[in-house]
Structure 1
Amino acid sequence: MNHIQKLLFITVLLSSSVAFGQLTEDPDERRDQGRDPLRTQTPEGRPLPFGQRLRFGGGINGFRFGNPFSLGISPVVAYQATEHMIVGIGGSYTYTRYKAYTNTGSTVPYLTYNQYGGRGFVMYEFIPSILPNLYLHGEIESTTIQQTENQTGRTAAFALTSPLLGLTYSQPISRRFGVNLTALYNLNYSNNAVASLIYSSPFVLRLSFF
């Protein structure tokens, strides 16, 4: 058998092996190729362990430079309860400083705010076949603000509990991490001094990562 015949024989043998492998491949595996991984199960259909359903993340909130200066953080721990439901808890801390001008034109610290909060939330992907990754979002948030007058040292504290409802769109980066844009409406908003310190509007927008 010359070299050309040997090459043709090997090519036919390899082609037959590939074709046989494609025909005998597990039909379930072939059918699921290209699909997103399940959020609560392994590819074999076994439930994921508790730790592999957890998500960790958060965001930066109240970010402002100048007068006032404000910066906050909001860590989040979330749990993939079902394929379409996420439950979680979060905390927040925001530091805000206002400055006032004196008669000489210099600036001195005037008011300092330390804002602490905690929240529990539920997200439900309600129309995954039409708009995947769009969630109904509901939460209860409790916030406390400690106000300090820097010149006098006098302090005061305010507290507010806010139920919020709205939507979250989550852009997945991996099975356990995504970028989340949330729009909520504060059902307990009122245009009084305490509420205005926490939220300047009944509408709340957030960008978070978990």
Structure 2
Amino acid sequence: MKKLILLILFYCFASSLVMAQKDVDFDNNPTFKDRIFFGGGMGFSGSSQQTNITLSPIVGYMITQQWSAGVGVTYQYVKLKNYDISDNLWGGNVFTRYSIDQFFAQAEYDYINFDSNLLDDRDNRDSATRFLLGGGISQPLGNRGAVNLLAMYDLTYNNDGPYDSPWVFRVYFSF
């Protein structure tokens, strides 16, 4: 597994040296439309005990060539098969990102709403927030697109929330 991760990171690093970055000319006052980018991710994981489906679109704005900010929404469906229960989690986030070449640092504030007692028949909705800091690498895909690998740590991690770890790892796309 370590060899696969190192191979992916090497590929991202090596190929980003020969591919163009986002083609936004900040010297000639780009339009609002030129500065907007869209993206997000989706995920699926499943086992004999659990199914998890995630959708997380984002929209962002390039403030400068290196600095961007944006918002996103999150929907997650979780089904625990052994207990025959499921939950729909939903929320949103705001983020800011600073890029240096293909590497970037990111700060993010997340909100999520979830059923706080899945094993009980009552619908007990609760919410949690987290403040994430981390960094990643961006692999350009043409003039405007990119695939991004991101690792972040939750500075406000609390075991009482819906997450079982303070670490967040993502692969997402932007266009």
Match of 2:122 in 1: 154
Q: What is the letter of the counterpart of residue 41 of structure 1?
A: D
Q: What is the letter of the counterpart of residue 123 of structure 1?
A: R
Match of 2:63 in 1: 81
TM-score of the pair, normalised by structure 1: 0.67
Which one of 132, 146, 154 corresponds to residue 186 of structure 1?
154
1:41 and 2:11 equivalent? no
Sort the Cα spacing of 1:181 and 1:35 in 2 relative to 1 into closer, same or farther, 3 A.
Answer: closer
Deviation at 1:78, TM superposition (A): 1.4
1:51, 1:72 → 2: CA distance?
28
Report if the CA contact (8 A) 2:110-2:129 is conserved: yes
Match of 1:209 in 2: 173
1:124 and 2:89 equivalent? no
Number of aligned positions between the proteins: 157
Q: Indicate the RMSD between aligned Cα atoms, in angstroms.
A: 2.4
Match of 2:8 in 1: none
Deviation at 1:117, TM superposition (A): 1.4
Question: Which ranges in structure 1 are unaligned for 5 or more consecutive residues?
Answer: 1-33, 101-107
Which one of 22, 40, 60 corresponds to residue 58 of structure 1?
40
Sort the Cα spacing of 1:47 and 1:36 in 2 relative to 1 into closer, same or farther, 3 A.
Answer: farther
1:171, 1:65 → 2: CA distance?
30
1:99, 1:63 → 2: CA distance?
13
Name the structure with the higher strand share. Answer: 2
Report if the CA contact (8 A) 1:39-1:80 is conserved: no
Report if the CA contact (8 A) 2:21-2:140 is conserved: no
2:171, 2:19 → 1: CA distance?
27
Report if the CA contact (8 A) 2:74-2:92 is conserved: yes
> Bigger radius of gyration, 1 or 2?
1
Aligned-pair identity (%): 29
Deviation at 1:46, TM superposition (A): 1.5
Deviation at 1:36, TM superposition (A): 4.0
Q: What is the letter of the counterpart of residue 183 of structure 1?
A: A
Which one of 144, 154, 157 corresponds to residue 113 of structure 2?
144
Sort the Cα spacing of 1:179 and 1:38 in 2 relative to 1 into closer, same or farther, 3 A.
Answer: closer
TM-score of the pair, normalised by structure 2: 0.79
Question: Which ranges in structure 2 are unaligned for 5 or more consecutive residues?
Answer: 1-17
Report if the CA contact (8 A) 1:86-1:123 is conserved: yes
